[in-house]
């Protein structure tokens, strides 16, 4: 079988495996092999590979070096966040390629500085196992080098020159070279760009690993439907693979039950459409695991209705932000006069009927008022209906604005632990405004302090309150 990846010095079966595994990256792999040359030839000192996330940079490098059995050390700069960890990981990985009896495989190499790293690296590659071939050092998430010592990046760029050895350092990152370029002069690497996958390429990659119990055409039709829904909002290959995995069982349901054939695309689409729309609401969020999603779908089938994931959105709020939102809701829907009743221990008793008679009688005549105040509550109690006549329902009138000091006073009353009024609390209030859960009323430059309104529904705030075990109804004036 002929392969499009042809290069002297590498076995044909290894190139065939690369072509099978690295779909839609043939041009990048071919260019890399041309830069590498044959194993005994000197390669380019440093290569800078950049591109967006999930464009295959790390996977391509890992697969090429492993399948062609090239000596290499691949290290993540996120995991090895100090220079010492970085040096030691590289040296100990390369030590595993040395089979000489002079080096004990159980001996861990320690390294504290870049000068020690150069010295120990020269000792390692002087052994016969590494002497006559190119050694590759791959630094994944290379943008993290900006947070380390200033000499690391220029040193790795000139490592071939400093060690006088056949070594190539490969930088993998999501940022362009201009953002990583140090202020001091340095050796310029060879820059290689990995473009995003197109829709056709994503279709080919996702359709490649189809389940054995279904035909390739059937799975390809499913992937085509999936991309038709999600491609405009998500180009992330990992996320699309996750979405394809958790929704495929629902797509196959009519075929499994014998209600449709694999070619009956219309019926299959009508069955999967509401579930794909629900899954679109939580792309990237990972609010629940795949097994929980499957369990949720099973419960929906038993109940005969589709339950969305929007009810889980409150899980993403920080702990104190939930209490701030609850405090904002209470301040919006409770009269300010009732705060003493709900949040002060020894408040005495406030008779609600007298308060209502004084403030909410309005312009109705005495006969109608007597009926609403005396007869209707009795009838409502007999027939079991809510008594909303003798009070003005604040939930029907909508949220009222409240000042910042009232919000904080309620917050400190309901939160279950002592907390100082730090900048973190005020920043969480700003975050709630940004998320449009609270609304800022008036101008920012007003002298008497900002005022807010709560912009969430009763169902939403009750769901939030349940996550922190807070009895919301007990503190709402409308439900007394």
**pLDDT per position as a tens digit, 259-317:** 888 888 888 888 888 888 777 776 766 555 556 656 655 655 544 443 443 444 444 68
Question: In the 8-state DSSP scheme, what is residue 38?
Answer: S
Closest CA relative to residue 352, chosen from 364, 344, 342, 362: 342
Task: Give the model confidence (pLDDT) of 314-373 as tens digits.
Answer: 446 888 889 999 999 999 999 888 888 887 765 555 555 444 444 444 444 455 445 555
Contacts of residue 419, defined as CB under 8 A and 6 or more positions apart, other chains included, come to 320, 412, 425
Model pTM above 0.85? no
Q: Percent of the chain having pLDDT more than 70?
A: 79
Cβ pair 108, 114 in contact under 8 A:
no
Which DSSP helix (H) or strand (E) runs through 5? none
| CB-based contacts of 15, cutoff 8 Å, min separation 6 | 3, 5, 6, 7
Max Cα separation, the chain?
108
Strands 167-173 and 451-454, sheet pairing: unpaired
- Residue 205: is its pLDDT beyond 60? yes
Nearest to 342 by CA among 401, 412, 410, 418: 410
Residue length, the chain?
A: 480
Pairing mode, strands 438-441 and 402-403: unpaired
Give one DSSP letter per residue of 204-254, joined into a string: HHHHHS--TTS-HHHHHHHHHHHHHHHTTT---HHHHHHHHHHHHHHHHHH
**Could you tell me what percent of the chain has a pLDDT over 90?**
32
Q: Which of 399, 419, 414, 432 is nearest to 474 (CA)?
A: 414
| Measured distance CA(350)–CA(337) in Å, rounded | 10
CB atoms near residue 347 (< 10 Å): 12
- Tokens 């075929």 locate to 255
Q: Cβ distance 470 to 480 under 8 Å?
A: no
Instruction: Give residue 4's Cα distance to chain centre.
Output: 37
Query: In 10 A of CB 56, how many CB atoms?
Result: 19
397: three-class secondary structure by DSSP = helix
Scanning the structure block, which residue is given the tokens 């008022």? 369
Here the tokens at position 143 are 């943008």
DSSP-derived 3-state class of residue 173? strand
State CA 179 to chain mean position distance: 24
The tens digit of pLDDT for each residue in 94-149 reads 988 887 555 555 578 899 999 999 999 999 888 877 888 899 999 999 999 988 99
Pairing of strands 402-403, 451-454: antiparallel
Query: Helices marked H in 96-127 — which ranges?
Result: 114-125
pLDDT at 25: 92
Tell me how many degrees the CA angle 81-86-87 measures, rounded to the nearest 5.
150
Which one, of 131, 141, 152, 136, lies nearest residue 87 by Cα?
A: 152
Q: Across the beta sheet with 135-140, what order do the strands follow?
A: 72-76, 135-140, 167-173, 46-50, 190-193
Instruction: Tell me what pLDDT residue 111 has.
Output: 92
pLDDT digits (tens, 9 = 90+) for 444-465: 555 567 889 998 888 889 888 8
CB of 223 within 8 A of CB of 82? Answer: no
């Amino acid at each position: 079988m002929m392969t499009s990846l042809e290069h002297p010095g590498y076995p044909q079966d290894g190139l065939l495996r690369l072509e099978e595994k690295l779909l839609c990256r043939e041009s990048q792999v071919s260019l890399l092999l041309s830069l590498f040359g044959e194993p005994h030839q000197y390669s380019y000192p440093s290569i800078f590979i950049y591109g967006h996330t999930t464009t295959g940079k790390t996977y391509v490098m890992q697969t090429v070096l492993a399948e062609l059995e090239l000596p290499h050390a691949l290290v993540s700069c996120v995991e090895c966040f100090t220079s010492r960890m970085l040096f030691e990981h590289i040296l100990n990985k390369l030590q595993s390629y040395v089979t000489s009896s002079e080096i004990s495989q159980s001996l861990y190499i320690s390294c504290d500085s870049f000068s020690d790293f150069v010295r120990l690296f020269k000792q390692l590659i002087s052994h016969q196992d590494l002497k006559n071939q190119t050694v590759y050092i791959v630094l994944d998430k290379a943008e993290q080098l900006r947070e380390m010592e200033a000499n690391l990046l220029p040193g790795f760029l000139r490592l071939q020159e400093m060690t006088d050895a056949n070594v190539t350092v490969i930088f993998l990152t999501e940022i362009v070279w201009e953002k990583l370029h140090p202020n001091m002069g340095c050796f310029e690497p060879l820059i290689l760009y990995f473009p995003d996958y197109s829709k056709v390429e994503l279709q080919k990659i996702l359709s490649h690993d189809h389940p054995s119990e279904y035909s390739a055409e059937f799975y390809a039709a499913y992937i085509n439907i999936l991309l038709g829904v999600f491609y405009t909002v998500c180009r992330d290959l990992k996320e699309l693979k996750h979405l394809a995995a958790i929704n495929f069982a629902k797509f196959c349901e009519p075929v499994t039950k014998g209600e449709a054939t694999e070619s009956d695309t219309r019926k299959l689409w009508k069955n999967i459409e509401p579930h794909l729309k629900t899954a679109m609401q939580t792309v990237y969020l990972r609010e629940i695991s795949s097994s929980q999603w499957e369990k949720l779908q099973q419960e929906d089938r038993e109940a005969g209705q589709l339950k969305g994931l929007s009810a889980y959105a409150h899980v993403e709020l920080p702990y104190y932000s939930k209490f701030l939102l609850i405090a904002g809701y209470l301040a919006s829907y409770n009269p300010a006069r009732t705060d003493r009743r709900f949040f002060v221990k020894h408040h005495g008793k406030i008779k609600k009927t007298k308060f209502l008679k004084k403030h909410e009688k309005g312009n109705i005549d005495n006969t109608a008022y007597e009926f609403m105040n005396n007869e209707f509550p009795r009838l409502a109690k007999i027939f079991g209906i809510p008594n909303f006549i003798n009070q003005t329902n604040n939930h029907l009138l909508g949220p009222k604005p409240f000042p910042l000091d009232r919000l904080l006073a309620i917050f400190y009353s309901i939160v279950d632990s002592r907390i100082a009024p730090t900048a973190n609390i005020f920043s969480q209030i700003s975050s709630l405004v940004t998320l449009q859960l609270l609304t800022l009323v008036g101008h920012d430059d007003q002298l008497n302090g900002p005022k807010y309104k709560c912009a969430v529904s009763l169902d939403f705030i009750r769901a939030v309150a349940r996550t922190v075990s807070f009895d919301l109804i007990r503190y709402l004036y409308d439900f007394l």
